[in-house]
Amino acid sequence: KAPGIVLVFQADPWFDLPETEDKNERDDPASDGYTNFLKAVVDEAKAYPGQVLLVHGDTHFFKLDHPLLDQAHMIENITRLETFGSPNAHWVKVTVDPSYREVFIVQPMIVPGN
């Protein structure tokens, strides 16, 4: 009955695939090892009434979005947070507020000089 759940992992599972209109890169089993993992996360999230925050690193760019499994389908209760990484040594503050529609309030915290 929790209003939200957080999943944290290191690798970027490439939510952005497919990248081309005429080919779904996720259909190629050699493309990555994340297709089955993402399918399981999406299936569980669709059955979950709360918000899901997926936190990962790996590519070292701050991103906050609602990831796509393909160009036409957004999973509304999943938010992806990709954290900073070298050479951008900053941090991210996440506040949990069950009264907030999205439950998680995410704020990038820029460290001057980094």
pLDDT tens track, the chain, 114 positions: 899 999 999 888 877 655 666 776 666 666 667 878 888 898 999 999 999 999 998 888 899 988 766 667 788 899 999 999 888 899 999 999 999 999 999 999 999 988
Q: Which two tokens stand for residue 31?
A: 């493309």
Specify the pLDDT at position 13. 81
pLDDT for residue 102: 93
Q: What is the pLDDT of residue 75?
A: 86
* pLDDT given for residue 20 in this prediction: 65
- Summary mean pLDDT of the chain: 86
The per-residue pLDDT for 34 is 80
pLDDT of residue 100: 94
Nearest 5 degrees, angle CA 17-CA 47-CA 75?
Answer: 30
CB-side exposure of 13: number of CA atoms within 13 Å?
23
What is the rounded radius of gyration, in angstroms, for the C-alpha atoms of the chain? 15
The DSSP 8-state label assigned to residue 109 in this structure reads: E
Query: What pLDDT score does 58 carry?
Result: 85
The structure's pTM equals 0.85
